[in-house]
Amino acid sequence: MHYIWPLTGTRVVDDLELEQLYRYPADPKWLAVNYVSSADGAVEIDGRSAGLSNPADRQVYQLGSDLADVVLLGAGTATIEVFRGVHPDEKTAERRRRHGLSEIPPIAVVTTGRSLPPDAPVITEAAVPTLVLTCSAAPKSIRDAWTAAGAEVVVAGTDTVDVAGAVDHLVKRGLGRIDCEGGPRLFGSLLAAGMVDELRLTVSPLLVSGAADRIAVGAGIEPAALELTSLLAEGNTLLLRYLVKQ
């Protein structure tokens, strides 16, 4: 992987330097959103992101959760991608020990209740209890079923999930380094609430066309300016990190 920006001359980046680039700052709350998209903006092929990914993307994607306190994602993404939570190998376990992190980061899933069945692998196969961030409109029966399946249910909001309140809840319990792994509607909601600090975007060297989603979908916001903080290249793949200027 080669370092392109800031301009210090193109050079190879080793694993430790890559880890330093993608570590979270010491702020009480830092929410980084991780995405891979095609060059024409698609975030899926046949409904999933796997077809866009490649070894370079997977390397930085892994760092997102390895260095986080918690992994945040929408229920649709959790079910479509068949997310099973974090199950660290020895490299991840060693990295987390070195950074003073818990052994396994919990998963926090945002849902209004309709899109997260109690038997979803993100709940039943997670190594530590999954946090289900929902709203009071979610039927009590489904909330009880999530709890019975092993999840911890957190109510934030009434008719819809108050994502700012949900993030505040994570921060208050010491889970302030937040790795958001989609989907587009959750990203759009977080942007509207002013909760996003950083965008980590892999541009995959593919053209997809079609009707695939873009990385953020929602009611729309005033355009948020971005500040490029690093640009890496691996073959034809670009890996960008932007700060979101609030």
Distance CA 81, CA 245 (A): 30
Task: Give 7's contacts (C-beta < 8 A, 6+ positions apart).
Answer: none
**Amino acid 220: pLDDT:** 83
Distance CA 34, CA 16 (A): 20
61 within 8 A of 244, measured Cβ to Cβ: no
Distance CA 31, CA 186 (A): 13
Cα distances from 12 to residues 4, 58, 200, 204, 235, in angstroms, run 9, 18, 19, 20, 12
Class of domain 34-244: alpha beta
pLDDT tens string for the chain (246 positions)? 888 877 666 678 889 999 999 999 999 999 999 999 999 999 999 988 999 999 999 999 999 999 999 999 999 999 999 999 999 999 999 999 999 999 999 999 999 998 999 999 999 999 999 999 999 999 999 999 999 999 999 999 999 999 999 999 999 999 999 999 989 999 999 999 999 999 999 999 999 998 889 999 988 889 999 999 999 999 999 999 999 986
